Amino acid sequence: MPFFGVNARRQPANSSSVNFQSETSTTMPAASEPDFSRLRVTGKDRAKFLHNFCTNNIKTLTAGTACEVFFTDVKARILAHGYVLAFDSFHEIWMLPGDAAALAKHLSKYVITEDVTVTDFSTDNHVVVFRETPELLALPPFHGAAENTRDTLCGQLNESADTNSYVTFLRVTWASERLIAIAGSAEQISTFRRNISISSDAEVDSDELESLRIRERFPVIGQDMSNENLAPEAERNSVAVSYTKGCYLGQEPIARLDAIGHVNRALRVIELSGDCSRQEIIGRSLLTADNAVVGTVTSAVQGNAQSIVGLAMVKVNSATQPVFCELASGVKLSGRCQPL
């Protein structure tokens, strides 16, 4: 997934003093709010520590920058996937729905003498996602947080002009759509919404974000991929895996796969002609003309009036063949995997 910009701008100096754990929720966010998990990692050894347990280069991140990562076990099997965001006094890990507590436990068990603390904010973490527009970047909450907004990938914003409480933002591009995701407690996000003036169609609800996620081929761990999958099977190596960072947990199997030059199965976008519900197609097998099973649909959205777009873990040697999917009703949908 491409980010835009490479330089960082540091967040306001007093922003690191905000204690999100102490916030209490009084106003629930909109029902269509996207679902993210969020960990915060503090301590002077945090960058080196995270560098040793994920697939991308954390040591090179400066405040205001971020990268996509996989966390894996020693066999390169996926434990978690998301983004690491760098700030002056902490790092954050953002993930789509998953077991944040399990990742926090996994990381914490390796803390021996290092000055590292992992805190899970997922119980009161809420995210609102906007399309990035000049109108949004001109809003008062962004003033002072991003003098050069094109070069700032993450940071913190005052939730309103009258407080010193901060929400966190991350800028990404999914399926060529530039987005800004803003995270905080339910109360903080509610306050942020009340204090901005922007057209309602700039906000991306959970259904639209799901469509962008699928077209971006960004997996939900536990749905599209699991700990039975190796990180390179996501085929996001160019944005989520560094082959020059040195040793980390899972590095050797990933390097061997890179030397081989391919994986046997991979996550691909599948487009099928026809009309059905998401529930009807998720979990259904993809078959070739000779009825060989080549994969399983794991996510799906309506593409247009006559098509379904989804994700499927498929056999790479069959990824260019026409496939079909037979629903429980007996209806057959035909299609093929989209090229990378």
Q: Which of 125-129, 164-168, 202-206, 208-212 has the highest mean pLDDT?
A: 208-212
Q: Do 203 and 324 belong together in one domain?
A: no
In the structure, what pLDDT confidence band is assigned to residue 31 with cuts at 50, 70 and 90? very low
Q: Enter the tokens of residue 84.
A: 């690491």
Same domain, 65 and 173: yes
pLDDT range class, residue 19, cuts 50, 70, 90: very low
169 and 182 Cβ atoms separated by less than 8 Å: yes
Listing DSSP states for 148-164 in one string gives: TGGG--EEEEESSTT--
Q: Is 285 contained in some domain?
A: yes
Residues 169 and 306 in one domain: no
Task: Give the distance, in angstroms, between the CA of residue 2 and the centroid of all CA atoms in the same chain.
Answer: 12
Do the beta carbons of residue 4 and residue 172 sit within 8 Å? Answer: no
Which is more confidently placed, 162 or 302? 302
Tell whether 202 and 274 lie within a shared domain. no
Give 97's pLDDT tier (boundaries 50, 70, 90): confident
Residue 109: CATH number of its domain: 3.30.1360.120
Model confidence at 310, in pLDDT bands (50, 70, 90)?
Answer: very high
Residues 40 and 147 in one domain: yes
Q: In whole angstroms, give the CA distance from residue 164 to residue 156.
A: 11
Task: Provide the greatest CA pair distance for the chain.
Answer: 66
Q: Do 65 and 207 belong to one domain?
A: yes
Lowest mean pLDDT among 14-18, 38-42, 228-232: 14-18
Q: How far is CA 8 from the centre of its chain?
A: 20
Q: What is the pTM of this model?
A: 0.86
Q: What is the DSSP letter of 79?
A: E
Lowest mean pLDDT among 177-181, 197-201, 251-255, 268-272: 197-201
Taking the C-alpha atoms of residue 271 and residue 240, their distance in angstroms, rounded to an integer, is: 25
Q: Averaged over 287-315, what is the pLDDT?
A: 92
Average pLDDT over residues 128-136: 85
Per-residue pLDDT tens digits for 169-204: 999 999 999 999 999 998 998 888 888 777 778 899
The number of distinct structural domains making up the chain is 2
In a domain, 2, yes or no: no
Q: What confidence score (pLDDT) does residue 277 get?
A: 85
Distance between CA atoms of 39 and 122, rounded to whole angstroms? 7
Q: Say if residue 192 is in the same domain as residue 337.
A: no
Q: Is 99 in the same domain as 199?
A: yes
Nearest to 247 by CA among 21, 99, 52, 109: 52
Mean pLDDT of the chain: 84
pLDDT value, residue 160: 64
Q: 52 and 126 share a domain?
A: yes
Residue 66 lies in a domain: yes
Helical segments of 20-120, H only: 46-51, 100-108
CB 64, CB 3: distance < 8 Å: no
Q: Is there a domain that residue 249 lies in?
A: no
Same domain as 157, residue 51: yes
Residue 323, domain extent: 264-340
Q: Let me know whether 77 and 208 are in one domain.
A: yes
Do 61 and 130 fall into the same domain? yes
**Contact present, 118 and 39 (Cβ < 8 Å):** yes
pLDDT band at residue 226 under the 50/70/90 scheme:
very high
Comparing 64-78, 95-109, 230-244, the range with the smallest average pLDDT is 95-109
What is the distance in angstroms between the CA of the first residue and the CA of the last residue of the chain? Answer: 12
